[in-house]
Amino acid sequence: MNYEIIVVGGGHAGCEAAYASAKKGHKTLLITSNIKNIADMPCNPHIGGSAKGIVVREIDALGGIMGKVADKTHLQIKMLNSAKGPAVQALRAQGDKIAYPKEMLANLNSLNNLTIQEGMVEDLIIEENTAKGVTLEDGTKIISQKVILTTGTYLKADILVGSTRTRQGPHGEKPSNHLSDKLKEYGFNIIRLKTGTPQRIDRKTIDFSKTKLEPGDNKLLTFSFDLKPCYKIEDQEPCYLTYTTGETHKIIMDNLNKSSMYGGLDDIKGIGPRYCPSIEDKVVRFKDKERHQLFLEPESRYYDDIYVQGFSTSMPPEIQEKMVHSLPGLEKAKILKYGYAIEYDAIYPTQLNASLETKVIKNLYTAGQINGTSGYEEAACQGLMAGINAALSIEGKEPLILKRSDAYIGVLIDDLITKGIRDPYRLLSSRAEFRLILRSDNADLRLRKIGYEVGLISHEQLERLLTKEKEIEELKQFLKDNKIKINDNNQDLFKANGINVSNTTISLEQLIKRPQVTMSFLEQLINIPFKEEIKEQVEINYKYEGYIKKAIAEADKMLKLEKKQIPDDIDYYKIKNIASEARQKLNEVRPKTIAQAIRISGVNPSDIAVLSVYLKKEYNNHE
Amino acid sequence: MNDTICAISTAQGVGAIAIIRVSGIDAIKIVNKIFKGKDLTKVKSHTINYGHIVDKKKTIDEVLISVMKSPKTFTSEDTVEINTHGGIAPTNQVLELLLTNGCRLAEPGEFTKRAFLNGRIDLLEAEAVMDKINAQTEKQNEMANNQIKGKVSKLIDDLRDDMVQIISNINVNIDYPEYDDVDIITNDILVPKIKKLKEKIIKIIEESKNGEIIKNGITTCIVGEPNVGKSSLLNALLDENKAIVTDIAGTTRDIVEGRIIIDGIPLNIIDTAGIRKTNNIIESIGVEKSKEMLNKADLVLLVLNNNSKLTKDIKELYNKIKNKNHIIIVNKIDLENKLDLNYFPQNHIIKMSLKTKRGINKLKEKIKEEFNLEKIETEDPTYLSNTRSIAILKNCLKSIKDVEASIKNDIPIDMLEIDITNIWQELGKINGKYYDEELLDEMFSRFCLGK
């Protein structure tokens, strides 16, 4: 059989890649080791979260699928950071680990151009540094124009529990033993990473009265810009909060040498995520801390597993029993699955172009954990971009490269290919220098048109966006045109809201610019006949006008540097006066622009100056 | 930077010898072409070689040549320094010879620029080199040395480190909104931290004034009615301190006519011409100009005659200067007292007899006291002393005040974090830890020819 695009791996990256490619009309094959594990959530049950929630919105804005599947299946949903500014608010849902994969599979199955096949890819077909297809374990060769690898943690995966190391992927699946060796042969720099997951506890054996209830929000919310909320607020499943105790810490300290990571195994090479430390790490590193938070989170409506968020460990089972039983509410808890760590191979991401095509092998794309990231959302957005770009390439079009000021997705990919990684990469708001522009509320305004251009957003969806844009302008005009007379009759209302204003006639626009005045306050004075999302958009724009202007100015400044291209054929060894570390890094990353070069760690301002001078001299067309 | 540059690195026409510096890949080769003596391409690095500079067999000058090979040189490139006999003509001849043999005349600041671009020095250090070249006093030299050693850089780094802690804490709060493992920074917690930061920046700006004093001296204006002894005071000061009296037009924007060093601190006396020629500054240069002069002055010395009555003119003049650093010099105390001294604050008065030079030391002490020179004298001078850095600091101070205002307006903490991060980046521009394109151009255009 021949395909245009083969996607290897059916995790979150693979699903988006296959979805985008097939939706764009390309004959696509998704190869997975087990169809039952399509869009599996082997670790936490969250979709979204700080920064990640914005990525899910961005995926939806571009025409990806994750947000819609999450909206249809989640157990509860929340807006995080709702007390903070609009730039850092992000949605997080508790996914249903049964319903989510099922819904995803249904979506994939509905696509005409997509074939899903079980199998284990052990090699690529490579001719002249160009990918031409894949070879399965049984030797079957499948030809394609593009190959997208989204193998997750399955490359040479080892499960670590206490002092045992077992070669297998999550759920005891068979890992891919040869593919990473082959990739190394083809010239890839392979690194070893690790991540971990906590225990699953039988819901029926937990005394929730000793824990704190953590319900979903009281407001209907969706990731997707196209779906109406399809759940009832009161039907949301709660989570629960409990804490470690002094006894827990003592058990951990007494048995530290039995943990895989602390001497239980002496051949650990993988580097674990700094942002998601194991409970051993937390107890060792923060000795003064009396207790650590643990969230008890349901995994599904269809079974009883409770996920112990924050308790990830690689202690042997007997110690895990003691640890779990030292927690308030879990004294008699039954452990259904022990926590474990997993070690796996990944490729060093500076070997990728911004399109996610590898620099080493043409027509080969990689996305997700194989690129060194952690998290479902990080994986999904890369899958989407790899799928889009593989398809665009077949269509003979330029790749879609999102800039750091366009989307968190742009930040993530630029970070990966420019800075490389040390531990599994997680998206954080602090990584986005333009986060004030990259908000959850405006993801559609930022990206829908791009989604339309690449062919994943329908004309009807675009129309909705254009209407929204029009209504935003109309509301702004409404605020300019409508004035309010402040007199003794309504003065009290202002005072009650802490607003100091003398008796005068004033436009709504002038009022909304004041720090204490909100849209809902204005509505007490005058009917504002616009939709909630329009009011929100306009309010944010007025309230943070100064900040947003500053951010846009900064972004423009960067774009100027982004326009200073570095020719592909530049020979860094010809530039005499560059520091040797910088030379090596520049040669490894091969940045496309001066702006990207600046972001490479180990490249100093002086090196950039030398590089700029060299470019001006050697390439007169520069700038 | 593939060409070889040269320039005369010592002041034109002054001094017993002049040094011409050549830097670049062909430095040694080019100098060797015009040198009669050892084969410079074969001598060891960091050696001094005797010989002659020749132009078509005609000897131009007898010279000593230092050969320093890359990378252990100021620019990190091959560098040759030609020590010629001073004097404008022979030095220029050698320079011309270098230019006709393949060197290019260095642009202003180009040697330092290369040192910076080659990673030898950071931005602050580069600026310090400029200060060092212009240094006229020991203090100035020491301050520049400290900057070259990176002490000032550390001052800025410390400030930035404080900020990083605040920034990272807020970021953890944003990224882990439900975790209580780290403190949650609220506006209330932020207020004292921001205040502390503000105070530190204010302190650096304040102290930078000392830096300015060391670097630029105290601009001093001598005023008074005719024949009260203004020129005698000037002469006494100049004489007393064996001062350098030159026309240093152009070193500062002011016309400095006399420069006196008091305990290592230069006192620049402006508009002595006004004093000498007409005896009346206000008459001689007009009211507007005199106002400008007084405004520029860091210190005003008002000279009065003990032997004559207080006039309306004096009172007017005093009113103009009383809000500045000023010292009232009551001259001619050997004569009968007719002046009403109670009109002036006593702690500003110095009684003198310029005829007998009585009181000069008291005046010096008073000046030292007024500008806290004792402190400057004893302290290790680690000050920011260039205009660019101070301008950035002042901008940061303004931004911090904006942050304080935003806190009052209940702007969410994550917005404030954006402001704080911007300040942090701005500060990084001072010591080149943050890249800014315009910065380099601006910096190096200020540097004078030579080093």
Distance from CA of A189 to the nearest CA of B (A): 30
Q: Is the dihedral of CA A243, A245, A251, A257 positive or negative?
A: positive
Amino acid at site A22:
A
Residue B240 has pLDDT above 60, yes or no: no
Give the model's pLDDT for residue A560: 83
DSSP letter (8 states) at residue A86: G
Amino acid at site A438:
L
> Nearest to residue B207, comparing CAs of B372, B395, B426?
B372
**Cβ contact A84–B413 (<8 Å):** yes
Q: In chain B, what residues touch A429 (CB-CB under 8 Å)? A: 171, 174-175, 414
Residue A241 pairs in a beta bridge with A212, A295
Between β-strands B218-224 and B299-305, what pairing exists: parallel, antiparallel or unpaired? parallel
Asked whether the beta carbons of A124 and A134 are under 8 A apart, the reply is yes
Q: How confident is the model at residue B186 (pLDDT cuts 50, 70, 90)?
A: confident
Instruction: Using DSSP, state whether A185 is helix, strand or coil.
Output: helix
How many contacts (CB atoms, under 8 Å) link A and B? 96
Asked whether the beta carbons of A344 and A157 are under 8 A apart, the reply is yes
Give the model's pLDDT for residue B277: 43
Assign residue A375 a region: left if phi > 0, alpha if psi is -120 to 50, beta otherwise?
left
- In this prediction, what percent of chain A has a pLDDT beyond 90? 67
CA distances to A576, B21, B49, B129, B177 from A610, rounded to whole Å, are 9, 22, 33, 20, 42
Asked whether the beta carbons of A205 and A323 are under 8 A apart, the reply is no
Strands (E), A128-203: 130-136, 141-149, 158-161, 164-166, 190-197, 200-202
Weakest-pLDDT range from B76-85, B259-268, B369-378: B369-378
Residue to test with chain A: of B3, B75, B178, B442, most A Cβ within 10 A: B178
Give the model's pLDDT for residue A621: 46
Give the separation between CA A295 and CA A298, rounded to whole angstroms. Answer: 10
Domains of chain A as residue ranges with CATH: 2-195+344-453 (3.50.50.60), 200-340 (2.40.30.260), 465-546 (1.10.10.1800), 563-618 (1.10.150.570)
Residue B304 pairs in a beta bridge with B330
> Nearest to residue A134, comparing CAs of A207, A499, A143, A302?
A143
Virtual torsion, Cα A60, A63, A64, A65, nearest 10 deg: 80
Asked whether the beta carbons of B114 and B61 are under 8 A apart, the reply is no
**Cβ contact B435–A81 (<8 Å):** no
Instruction: Using DSSP, state whether A532 is helix, strand or coil.
Output: helix
DSSP A564-613: SB--TT--GGG-TTS-HHHHHHHHHH--SBHHHHHHSTT--HHHHHHHHH
Q: How many CA atoms lie within 13 A of B84 on its CB side?
A: 29
Residue to test with chain A: of B179, B410, B435, most A Cβ within 10 A: B435
Give the model's pLDDT for residue B291: 65
Q: Is the dihedral of CA A462, A465, A471, A477 positive or negative?
A: negative
> Nearest to residue A64, comparing CAs of A402, A418, A357, A300?
A402
Average pLDDT on B242-256 reads 37
Give the model's pLDDT for residue B82: 94
Instruction: Using DSSP, state whether A75 is helix, strand or coil.
Output: coil
Asked whether the beta carbons of A456 and A23 are under 8 A apart, the reply is yes
Over residues A84-133, the pLDDT tens digits come to: 888 899 999 999 999 999 999 999 999 999 999 999 999 999 999 999 99
Residue to test with chain A: of B414, B420, B439, most A Cβ within 10 A: B414
Domains of chain B as residue ranges with CATH: 5-106 (3.30.1360.120), 151-211+384-446 (1.20.120.430), 218-297+299-370 (3.40.50.300)
Largest CA distance in chain A: 86
Q: How far is CA A428 from the centre of its chain?
A: 9
Ranges under pLDDT 70 in chain A:
263-266, 274-275, 576-577, 606, 617, 620-623
Strands (E), A312-448: 335-337, 340-347, 364-366
Give the B window 408-447 contacts with A, CB below 8 Å: 409-415, 418, 421-422, 432-435, 437, 440
Q: How confident is the model at residue B257 (pLDDT cuts 50, 70, 90)?
A: low
For the record, the structure tokens of A54 come out as 């914005």
DSSP A396-407: T-------TTT-
Q: Which residue of B has its CA nearest to A436?
A: B415
Chain A residues with CB-CB distance to B under 8 A?
50-51, 80-81, 83-85, 87-88, 275, 282, 286, 289, 292-293, 295, 428-430, 433, 435-436, 515-516, 544, 547, 550-551, 561, 576-577, 579, 598, 604-610, 612-613
Give the separation between CA B125 and CA B430, rounded to whole angstroms. Answer: 11
Give the separation between CA B100 and CA A589, rounded to whole angstroms. Answer: 42
**Cβ contact A85–B414 (<8 Å):** yes
Instruction: Using DSSP, state whether A319 is helix, strand or coil.
Output: helix
Instruction: Using DSSP, state whether B414 is helix, strand or coil.
Output: helix
Give the model's pLDDT for residue A229: 94
Instruction: Using DSSP, state whether A384 is helix, strand or coil.
Output: helix
